[in-house]
Amino acid sequence: MDQDPVAESLECFAARCADPAAAVYGRLFALHPEAEALFLMDPGGHVRGQMLAVAVEALLDGGGRLAGLVGIERMNHLNIGVPLALFDGFFNLLRAVVRDALGADWTPAMAIAWQARLGALAGEKNSDANHLAAGT
């Protein structure tokens, strides 16, 4: 039995969704059509797959070892034209896709655990990025 409801929800999502990456990026491009052009150099989807894998890893890690990596990626993404708000919204988008795919199997424990995990990730934002965004 899985101890972590976030991991449990992701496992359930992977088990019932034939193409998780297509579900995630389909929703991203529907909400933010401008983001699709950023992936023109990735026709095979390898970069997208890798990016999703790293984001999921960071999510499962909570505020642990990979929190610094997320902070660094925020800055890297700013440089390639991904605004901070869009970057940060990716984790919320992931939650929405997983929640919708699980339907009635999305439990209150999952909702609580996801909320806490998203909060932990937001709290670990790179302070350099915050200074930059604030112009300080």
Q: Which of 51, 97, 102, 129 binds ligand HEM (CB under 6 A)?
A: 51
- Closest CA relative to residue 17, chosen from 69, 65, 68, 56: 56
What is the rounded distance in angstroms from the CA atom of residue 128 to the CA atom of residue 66?
17
Of 39 and 75, nearer to ligand HEM (C-beta) is: 39
Assess 86 for contact with ligand HEM (CB under 6 A).
Answer: yes
- Closest CA relative to residue 16, chosen from 113, 105, 95, 111: 105
Assess 70 for contact with ligand HEM (CB under 6 A).
Answer: yes
What is the rounded distance in angstroms from the CA atom of residue 117 to the CA atom of residue 83?
21
Assess 77 for contact with ligand HEM (CB under 6 A).
Answer: yes
Give residues in contact with ligand HEM (CB under 6 A): 28, 35, 38-39, 47, 50-51, 54-55, 58, 70, 73, 77, 80, 82, 86-87, 90
